[in-house]
Chain A
Amino acid sequence: VRILVTGLGTFWGSRIAQQLEQRSDVELVVGVDTREPRLPLRRTEFVKADASYGILQRMVRATQVDTVLHTHLEADSTRASSRRLHEVNVIGTMNLLAAAAADGSSVRKVVLKTSTLVYGSNFDDPYFFRETTRRTHPATTPVERSLLEVDALVDDFAEDNPDVTVTSLRFANVLGDDVSTVFSRMLRMPVVPEVFGFDPRLQFVHDDDVTRALEHATVTEAPGTFNVAGPGTITWGEACRLVGRRRLAMPPLLTGTAAVPMRLLRIVDIPPEVLSLLRYGRGVDTDAFVAAGFEYGSTSLATVEAFARARRLERVVGAPPAYEYEHDVEDFFRNSHAVVRPEA
């Protein structure tokens, strides 16, 4: 298989590329992004592109990839303005799917990494959203709206291209040793915010399960949309207790207003979609992806426990240094004859 990975500069793009390049059945991994890869890669080719991926059609034609792995969907609205969310999520996906659907395209499989944010979070929600369950209220936040638009684009693409396998993975909140999400940032605070009078049921997915799920969808045939979340649920109070943090209540009324000074003072940025999660929580049904052959490594509870263990170590020895992409060094390891490569 020849694979194109979008969002190579994101944590997930780098992680999945690292994973895929170790497989002998993967012939080629090409990655595109606006930023440099976040992890050292051995044989993945990296191409710098603009955010809306205008270059993709040429790349697909030139590399003759058969699988496209779209990890470059932004679900963390603290990292991007609503304009950029639209650009990255909607326009990026549109260009990607246009490239995959072009005349004589070699693409036979498209895998997307999207989010359970598409279900929203509200008081009259079911406790376990199935992939087919409709959300109970229309989306109000830019990130949810853009991801719903992506869903619509993907549905159209799948309908128009019946010979292409389209797999859409909806991931719950991710927690892991070295990935930064709104939830991991909140759980790293000395006192963790909660909304007064609410203790929602939440689900977390371990970062290893994220990469394994993406890999599973890439190497097996599993058309359709699947929820990916650590089995079971855990309440926010329980999660805070496991990590050993006290909670500080935000007012139940005007919670959004209370979050503004926290953002301006750079204490923590809690976007509205996470505030409603802290109120009503969300659970998704995970049976469909298990039926498609995936095996979870961690439950939601185990994911939080693993995060708590990593935090305890970090408090003693400090955080590991972040990886910096350096062209010369990467070039040396990839191309120099001095490097002994196992396959060669």
Chain B
Amino acid sequence: MPASSEPPLRLVDTGADTSADPADAGDAVADVEPLVDEFLRVDAWGRSEPARALARALYDPVYRYWLRAEWEGLEHVPLDGGALLVANHGGAIPSDAPVVMHGIETELLRPVYGLAENLFRALPVIGTLWSRAGGVPAHPDNAYRLLHDDHQLVLVFPEGTKATGKLLRDRYQLRRFGRGGFVEIAMRAGVPVVPLAIVGNEEAMPILWKSARLAKLMGLPYFPITANQFVFGPVLGYVVPLPAKFRIRVLPPVTFDVEPGQARYNRGVVMEEAERIRARIQAEVDDMLRSRRSVWRG
């Protein structure tokens, strides 16, 4: 049956248990083969635990020492059962998704399924790595299945590429929350929405200029020139974030007073709830910006 419960997370130091076994030490071939095999074996969501452990190990220093992510109200993230995490989005290649996923996975030892732009899946190698590391295409069926059938944490950014394609001067001005689809999914699955307000994501990779023509030519949602490119060069400037201080504030969960499992919900109620959540996140972001003294030191 699909993705029942995920195997317990293995955190960063997986090297110790494999090298400790003296029986394997002599046979170099047998040592390598199972490792390769393990990477091929993935769960029903296309995620590979060894690949995720490796990605966590590589990302941990970035999370801890470069972006220095700090959490508030982490107790609002439920320790079991499905919940939909909803956050504001920002940065040309946004760092907020990996920061939230890595943070919750290491602090609460709960896997987070980040729903992301499907475009990645169409790219060779990158698409495969992306899904091995934990990316799941943003389709309502996927969200519902993860929340309702598998009781998992799902992370969505309802603004989508409208938010990540913003110019620097528009930072922290939240865009429309889609068509409120995330509220409808949470209602149908009968799970709470946990809003997250994030600060730091916009300055980690700000867009100075973008070309609509090049974007159209390449079939991309936007084609940015980032501030990072002036620091790290034209290619790395799309990969390496600037060391902006990340703060994430978790707001109390929002529950809906409706019957779960319905095919459709009242559009007006859905839009109203979506707008209310958006406004709350905007207010928290504004509040966090008011108390922020420095982009880099927080």
Contact = CB atoms under 8 A, between A and B. Distances in A.
B151 interface: no
A132 B40 CA distance: 31
Contact of A237 (B1, B40, B119, B126): B40
A232 B1 contact: yes
* 3 A-B pairs with the lowest CB-CB distances in the bound complex, closest first: A197-B124, A126-B141, A124-B118
Main SS at interface, chain A: loop
Contacts of A193: none
30 contacts: A123-B118, A123-B121, A123-B122, A123-B127, A124-B118, A126-B137, A127-B46, A127-B137, A127-B139, A127-B145, A129-B141, A136-B139, A195-B124, A197-B123, A197-B125, A198-B124, A198-B128, A201-B42, A231-B1, A232-B1, A232-B44, A233-B2, A235-B41, A235-B46, A238-B41, A238-B42, A241-B37, A280-B121, A285-B2, A287-B1
Contacts of B46: 127, 201, 233, 235
A123 to B, nearest CB: 4
A232 B141 contact: no
Interface string B116-146: 0011011111111000000011011110010
A171 B125 CA distance: 29
A286 B125 CA distance: 29
A151 interface: no
Interface in A213-267: 231-233, 235, 237-238, 241, 252
B265 interface: no
B66 interface: no
A305 interface: no
A133 interface: yes
A196 B119 CA distance: 17
B238 interface: no
A126 B139 contact: yes
A126 B142 CA distance: 6
Interface string B142-159: 100100000000000000
B45 interface: yes
A197 B42 contact: no
A324 to B, nearest CB: 41
A199 interface: yes
Contacts, number: 80
A130 B139 CA distance: 12
Nearest to A284: B2
Given A201-B46, A235-B42, A283-B44, A127 B142 contact: yes
A298 to B, nearest CB: 13
A125 B119 CA distance: 11
A197 B122 CA distance: 10
Given A201-B46, A232-B44, A124 B128 contact: no
A237 B132 CA distance: 13
Given A123-B118, A127-B46, A231-B1, A198 B141 contact: no
B130 to A, nearest CB: 11
Given A126-B137, A232-B2, 7 more contacts: A125-B137, A127-B142, A128-B142, A199-B40, A232-B44, A235-B41, A235-B42
B124 A235 contact: no
Contacts of B125: 196-197
B263 to A, nearest CB: 9
Given A125-B139, A232-B44, A235-B40, A283 B127 contact: no
Contacts of B45: 127
A316 to B, nearest CB: 24
Contacts of B119: 123
B143 to A, nearest CB: 9
B139 A124 contact: yes
Q: Which of B46, B123, B126, B136 has the most CB of A within 10 A?
A: B46
A130 B263 CA distance: 14
A128 B2 contact: yes
A189 to B, nearest CB: 19
Interface string A280-295: 1001011100000000
Interface string B9-22: 00000000000000
Contacts of B42: 201, 235, 238
B141 A128 contact: yes
B225 to A, nearest CB: 26
Given A233-B44, A241-B40, A283-B44, A124 B121 contact: yes
Contacts of B2: 127-128, 231-233, 283, 285
A238 B140 CA distance: 28
Interface in B83-140: 118-119, 121-128, 136-137, 139-140
Contacts of A235: 40-42, 46
Contacts of B37: 241
A297 to B, nearest CB: 15
Nearest to B129: A197
Contacts of A237: 40
A136 B125 CA distance: 23
A197 B141 contact: no
B40 A123 contact: no
A133 B42 CA distance: 24
A195 B140 CA distance: 27
Q: Which of B44, B45, B123 has the most CB of A within 10 A?
A: B44
